[in-house]
Copies of this chain bind each other. A is one copy, B any other.
Amino acid sequence: MRPLFHPAIEDVRPEAILHALADPARAAIFASITQAGCVQACAALSSLGERVIPKSSLSAHFKVLREAGLIRSERHGVEMRNHSRCDEVEARFPGLLSAILNAYAGVKGCEGAEP
């Protein structure tokens, strides 16, 4: 188990962020971590929305988010704590994360509201 890799904020690339958040499951995971005071264990997120995400896929999703620079993960005993790096990313790419999270939030519940 190699030590988790986290890119420095200046090495974070926009395409990696967009790729990471282009998957609705990952976007939901990231939104959850960000909104929940920036700390969440992995297992707590295995059933976002209506789908159950298998552990291996979840692990891969966290890896993508981590290597994109969106979250920071550290072991705490037997479990993993995931912090959102939203502040750092916001400083580097102003408005990006909030615009993306708003876009997803606006779509999820709003279809079919008009007659």
Which residues in A have some Cβ–Cβ distance to B below 8 Å?
A: 10, 13-15, 17-19, 21-24, 27, 92-96, 98-100, 102-104, 106-107, 111
Q: Please give, as numbers and ranges, the residues of chain B lying within 8 Å of A95 by CB-CB distance.
A: 95, 98-99, 102
Q: Please give, as numbers and ranges, the residues of chain B lying within 8 Å of A24 by CB-CB distance.
A: 15
Q: Please give, as numbers and ranges, the residues of chain B lying within 8 Å of A17 by CB-CB distance.
A: 103
**For the complex, what is the distance from the CA of A99 to the CA of B99, rounded to whole Å?**
7
Cβ distance A29 to chain B, nearest Cβ, rounded Å: 14
Q: Please give, as numbers and ranges, the residues of chain B lying within 8 Å of A96 by CB-CB distance.
A: 99-100, 102-103
Contact of A13 with B94 at beta-carbon distance under 8 Å, contacts A18-B22, A22-B22 already known: no
Cβ distance A42 to chain B, nearest Cβ, rounded Å: 22
